[in-house]
Amino acid sequence: MNNQKEQILQVASKLFYEQGYKKTYLDQIAEICEITKPLISYYYKSKSSLARAVSDTFLFELKNKIALKLYTDYFKERKADLQVSTAVEIRMYNQMFLADPKAMRFLKELADDKYEDLFSQDSITLYKIHDRRYHLDINRESDELAMIANAARGASFSVLWAYDRGEFNCTQEDCLDYITRLNFVLMHIDPIRIDAILAESKEVLKLVPFAFKPYFRIE
């Protein structure tokens, strides 16, 4: 990646995390990077587009770190189970926001400003991968994969936000179970298989723990 573009992204990540999305301005990012504000707009069309790039970056890094750790520390010599790996990714991604108030603030403030930039434009890729592997029982003529992707991300955010507001009489574990399960329900996976996926994904996290760090990082 272009060094200047990468610097903008890194500075924005720190400011969005520390100050929140609303209190971070492109002028401030430009001053820290010692560049002009129009140069930020050259790389990223708007503040919300830059925030989406920040979100996409930590989601990409989270996926890679989880995949590598599961491959080396859990599956080892066995063939990796894509469904279990995905359940771990979904759970950890959403848990990060519930565990870190600064991460949650960023998510909610971005949604308030421009909801459509809250999610990755490439979010359908996950479901395409699952369709190739498991031949999902879906209607391809109606582009159901795209509908599943939109339904999953919208519902997950709504549940996260409602839990954060204290609207549910449930534990954080229950909330994460529901969000994770929802993705597989939308893919029309057999309920008994979903129970097995969730159970194994939680066992994985007991054996291969992860820790959340500032600036949207996981280790």
**Which residues face 217 on adjacent strands?**
213
pLDDT of residue 117 exceeding 90, the answer is no
When pLDDT is cut at 50, 70 and 90, the band that residue 24 belongs to is very high
How does residue 2 score in pLDDT terms, banded at 50, 70 and 90? confident
pLDDT for the residue 184: 97
pLDDT for the residue 122: 73
Q: Which two tokens stand for residue 196?
A: 């097995």
Whether the Cβ atoms of residue 90 and residue 149 lie closer than 8 Å to each other? no
Q: Can you tell me the distance from the alpha carbon of 50 to that of 26, in angstroms, rounded to the nearest whole number? A: 9
**Does the pLDDT at position 1 exceed 60?**
no
**Is 138 within 8 Å of 144 (Cβ atoms)?**
yes
Give the Cα-Cα-Cα angle 72, 75, 80 (nearest 5 degrees): 110
Is residue 115 scored above 60 in pLDDT? Answer: yes
Quick one: which of 48, 29, 51 has its CA closest to 40?
29
What does the mean pLDDT of the chain come to?
Answer: 92
Are residues 96 and 216 in contact, defined by beta-carbon separation less than 8 angstroms? Answer: yes
Q: How confident is the model at residue 11 (pLDDT cuts 50, 70, 90)?
A: very high
Q: Please give the average per-residue pLDDT across 128-148, as a whole number.
A: 91
Tokens of 46: 């708007």
Give the least confident one: 7-11, 96-100, 122-126, 179-183: 122-126
Is the pLDDT at 158 greater than 60? The verdict is yes
